[in-house]
Amino acid sequence: MSEPQHAYAWQMAQWQDVQKQIRAERLPHALLLSGPSAIGKLRFAQALAAYLLCESPGELAACGQCRSCHFQSDASHPDFREISPEEGKRQIGVDQVRSLQHFSAQHAHRDGGRKLVLIHPAEAMNANTANALLKTLEEPASGTLLILVSHSSSQLLATIRSRCLQLSFGIPSPELTEPWLRDYVGDQAMAQRLLAEAGGRPLAARQVFDDDGLASRERFDKGLMALVDGQRSPLQFAEEMLDADILQVLDWWVARLLSLSRYQLADQALTAESWRRFKSLPAKSVIGSLERALKLRSSFSRGVALNKRLILEGVFLEWAQLCQSRAVA
């Protein structure tokens, strides 16, 4: 059984708002979760749906164990519908929304239980579709909760907005998002930079890291081999890596050297097979390079102003010379 989904740490205020409504049995039949994209509104909506369907929820999340949670985890809950544009389409189809009328007319499978409909993003409904949804809203089938998620709620029909209780999500505080992103990327300063680049939106920041991280790392590994094979000069390679995050590049460099060192000295498995060719390099020189890389890394992470280009040129030149001196094949 997988862990039940929680709302993110930066959404506790909204979570508690909803909890109050639930405890007072004042939860309306339609909620509108609005705010900028990539801050986790959909996750909040899914966690809330699981919570409301759960047979024995805790304070912060569904239990993850009951029959309802099992259904929910393999996306087969008979009392839950999630509607978003079908694959390859940008709009939610009117038929998708019309099918809700049948769904909400049925009784919940659990006695006294709720049924839930999650629609995201709500602005992907055109006027036709939105009107079909209004019909559903006008005849609130008892026990059905509609959760709309919108990145742009001003685009929704006013008649839809007015029927929903609106929960607003702003750009979350870095105090709460930084630790989360730091755990993911493994570096505080980089987490700060990514968040700044993404305008404070944590999921967008993580996406930047995922996209760029993988492509740049591949570029780095390939470039290093080209350097050793004499197909790139250290200056060219430094130029190529200038747009990558310097701390990230140094992290990769440290990780590769560490792995090589352990392979040479303790016969541990390499993290990259292609590095087997460096086995004959003097272990002492490899450790020397590793120590210098660690020092550079720590200077950069303390915010010491260093010339990125010169640093990279120095690192690559040293490595190329070391490999040439040993004629690494």
CB of 53 to Zn ion, least distance (A): 8
Q: How far is the CB of 80 from Zn ion (least distance, A)?
A: 13
| 1 or 306: CB nearest Zn ion | 1
Instruction: From residue 231, give the alpha-carbon distance in Å to each of 228, 239, 240, 242, 315.
Output: 8, 14, 13, 18, 17
Kindly give, in sequence order, each residue whose CB lies less than 8 Å from that of residue 133, ignoring residues fewer than 6 positions away.
Answer: 97, 100, 119, 125, 160
Q: CB 81 → Zn ion: shortest distance, Å?
A: 19
Peptide bond into 28 cis (omega under 30): no
Min. distance of Cβ 61 from Zn ion in angstroms? 9
- State which residue, 66 or 147, has the beta carbon closest to Zn ion: 66
Q: Which is nearer to Zn ion, 85 or 143 (CB)?
A: 143
Q: Which long-range contacts (CB under 8 A, 24 or more apart) does 177-185 make?
A: 177/10, 177/202, 177/205, 179/9, 180/8, 180/9, 180/10, 181/205, 181/206, 181/209, 184/209, 185/209, 185/213
Instruction: Decide whether 88 or 112 has the Cβ nearer to Zn ion.
Output: 112
Name the nearest CA neighbour of 260 among 238, 295, 287: 287
Binding site for Zn ion (CB under 5 A): 54, 62-63, 66, 69
3-class SS of residue 149: strand
**Pair 227, 205: CB distance under 8 Å:** no
**Nearer to Zn ion by C-beta: 30 or 62?**
62
Residue whose CB is less far from Zn ion, 51 or 278: 51
Instruction: Write down how long the chain is.
Output: 329
Question: Min. distance of Cβ 110 from Zn ion in angstroms?
Answer: 11
Shortest Cβ distance from residue 3 to Zn ion (Å)? 12
- Among candidate residues 29, 249, 62, 228, the one with its CA nearest the CA of residue 148: 29
